[in-house]
Amino acid sequence: MPTPPALADLEGRLGAILADHAACEGPLLPILHAVQAEWGHVPQEALPIIAGALNISRAELHGVVSFYHDFREAPAGRHMLKVCRAEACQARGGRAVEDAARARLGIDWHETTATGGMTLEPVYCLGLCATGPAVMLDGRVVARVDEARLDALLAEVEA
């Protein structure tokens, strides 16, 4: 993963993102996705600039950022494991994978390991409901996961 650019560049880079979305109808979510792709989270420092550009209040913007599960107000770990907790995966043994993930990493949902290597998030359905249990590791979907496959995945990223 590339090192996130220093927040010192924030104004310039954010300015470019805002300019890219100037013609967009309802631009806020695309802007927040672009910001998060750039810095790995939505930095506090970016909020007044975005609010100013879109002519909305900072409270309104905070409301939006905090509403959606995807947007992070602080950086995540170097890797991100999302484990599906929904019913179809549960029917195929998903609870055991959930428990194993928390036990192996020694963290609970929404937490990051002490080394900063891995963040664990629940996800409610990856659309792989006939081949569950399913997880997503750094944006890559993996199905038919059991404890052994989970271990292999974690070993791959040395978490």
Give me the residues that bind another protein (CB under 8 A), please. 25-30, 32-33, 54, 63-64, 67-71, 86-92, 123-132, 134, 136, 139, 141-144
DSSP string across 72-111 = -SS---SEEEEEE-SHHHHHTTHHHHHHHHHHHHT--TT-
Helix axes 147-156 and 94-105, enclosed angle (nearest 10): 40
Q: Cβ closer to another protein: 32 or 105?
A: 32
Q: Cβ closer to another protein: 6 or 130?
A: 130
Is 24 annotated to bind ligand?
no
Cβ 103 to another protein shortest distance, Å: 19
Q: Cβ closer to another protein: 9 or 58?
A: 58
Residues belonging to the chain = 159
Cβ 25 to another protein shortest distance, Å: 7
What's the maximum distance between 2 C-alpha atoms anywhere in the chain? 51
